[in-house]
Chain A
Amino acid sequence: MKSRTIRLLVLTCALAGSASLIAGQAARQTGSPAYKPPRTPDGQPDLQGIWQVRNTANWDVLPHGSAYRIPSGLGVVEGDAIPYQPWAAEKQQQNFKNRLTDDPVEKCYSAGAPRTMYLPYPVQILQTPEAVVMVSSYVHTWRWIPTIAVPRYEGYEAWMGDPRGRWDGDTLVVESIGFNGQTWLDHSGNFHSDALKLTERFTRTAPDAIGYEVTIDDAKVFTRPWKMRMPLYLRADMPRILEDECYLDAEEAGRAIRGGHPEDRGGVR
């Protein structure tokens, strides 16, 4: 765990160059309004490439100073506050206290959507006329987002939710429901429920940047919908997504994943 966390930090710092500079950028979109994104041969805005954030939203989506194994950052939340219902604000505080054991990513579980998009790991976007595919190096997860009509499986729930995409001008809009309610939005315990209605908007704003906007709508947890915004940057140095196997890597290093298995907590054997 420790090595993984350190590795995340190193990776983030290496990419960011300067954490404070990047955190500052996270609140803004890059590129000029006049920019017209390239098109695929099939005529869609071309979002293809390997992308990665350069911010600390994975640790805390809100503005925050540094804490134990949490690098500081200016946050990505519109208005710098999350409109929790009172019980949920308390729950978030509990989550924060228990983050080293309860954060699903500390157990190497799927980060789900939207957190997979702002992990300190790259995400590759690929497109066909019928679908957008996003693959992450973090525990080799993928998202298949049809942009044609595909009826949903009723009652289906998943870590990633069940996404459907559409093109709105130069923007890919992805709407997801069907979450299992087990994922967190960040390491600081910001969370949502299985009632989450997630809307993500991807707009290429420069040759090497995508403006990424997230709307979180979850009437069980929040008093109103709220938004996050951040740029995704092109990883022009990567010919492909590699693997980051998390649990297997930790196991190989002889390290137990905190909270990941009952045995690790002295429980069932």
Chain B
Amino acid sequence: MRRALLLSAAAVMAAALGSGFVAAQAPATSSPAGAGSAAKPPRTSDGKPNLQGYWNNQAGAAPWDIEPHPASFQVPAGDGVIVDPPDHRIPYQPAALERRNELRDKYAFEDPQAHCAPSGVPRQTYTPFGFQIVQPRGSVVILYEAEHVHRVIRTDGSVHVPASVRLWSGDSVGHWEGDTLVVESTNFNGKTWLDMTGNFTTPALRVVERYTLVDADTIQYEATLEDPTIYTRPWKMAFLLRRNLQPGYYLLEFACHEGERDLQHYTDDTGRPKEDRAP
């Protein structure tokens, strides 16, 4: 499956950057969030759970396919990240499932991520790259290495921007429920996919994410997706985020050019140039 090539290349690049730059790094600095185990979540100066620092997902093969799937060429097997419904499948309406299958089988190269578009929510959380959480007062900022995307999640009681404003990364507002950061995102442009397997989205998507520190170095991450135009019911994915404890680590610049067209020069599985464009 050629669609795995970009991600494989990305993973190799990440590994190369890791070995190259990390090896050359100077001694460690202390993590602002105070890495290490703690009985209670560390707090920011305004008393909120301190999620700050560098995180990597433990979403396994979700970047390729968020549903359970066997290994195929360039695609590692995975049991998916969907925890509800119990069959671990996206509860598509029949026409939407047909559309997904068509995208998966014929137009995998149309994956917007492969063209360096923002991955959107929640996919940005399970790219094979790290991200950083920063907590100024009144917001939670997430800086992602992949596609150098950022999210400023307003936690000051803000309402969403007008519905006609449609965004790749959507519009996120958050609040704290106990020690859990709850983020509600709407205003999506409906162009993002959830993985490389054609699992598409629409502008009707609403995502509710929950970030809960379960120990000083682990966040339980959940995302509930609702879209009455393509799903039969809301559904949920969940996985852990682990703190990157590598001394001296910080995010590197990711210079993927939006509209990347190298993929057009690749060939399909039969060796022909890939010219198809999704309808």
- Chain A interface residues (CB < 8 Å from chain B): 40-42, 48, 107-110, 124, 126-131, 133, 135, 139-142, 144, 146, 148-156, 158-160, 239-243, 245-248, 250-251, 257, 260-261, 263
Contacts and interface: CB of A to CB of B under 8 A. Distances in A.
A41 B46 CA distance: 9
B25 A154 contact: yes
A144 B251 contact: yes
B217 to A, nearest CB: 18
Contacts of B27: 151
| Most interface-central of A130, A248, A251 (chain B CB within 10 A) | A248
Contacts of A241: 152
Nearest to B259: A247
A177 B165 CA distance: 37
Contacts of B25: 151, 153-154
Contacts of A246: 258
Nearest to B44: A128
B168 A126 contact: no
Nearest to B250: A150
19 contacts: A108-B257, A108-B259, A129-B45, A133-B141, A135-B141, A135-B152, A141-B148, A144-B134, A150-B250, A160-B253, A239-B161, A242-B161, A243-B168, A245-B258, A247-B258, A248-B259, A250-B259, A260-B259, A263-B261
Contacts of B20: 155
B252 interface: yes
B244 interface: no
B143 A41 contact: no
Interface string B139-171: 101010001111010100010010001011101
Contacts of A257: 259
Contacts of B118: 140, 243, 245
B26 interface: yes
Contacts, number: 126
Contacts of B261: 261, 263
A200 B158 CA distance: 32
A243 B169 contact: yes
A48 B154 CA distance: 14
Contacts of B167: 242-243
Contacts of B24: 153-155
B169 A140 contact: yes
Contacts of A48: 136
- Shortest beta-carbon contacts, A-B, top 7: A151-B26, A158-B253, A247-B259, A247-B258, A154-B24, A126-B136, A130-B32
Contacts of A109: 255, 257
- Most A CB contacts (10 A, CB to CB) among B20, B118, B137 go to B137
A48 B25 CA distance: 31
Q: Which residue among A126, A141, A241 has the maximum number of chain B CB atoms within 10 Å of its CB? A: A126
A101 to B, nearest CB: 15
A249 to B, nearest CB: 9
B127 interface: no
Contacts of A127: 136
Nearest to B33: A130
A41 B135 CA distance: 13
B29 interface: yes
A140 B52 contact: no
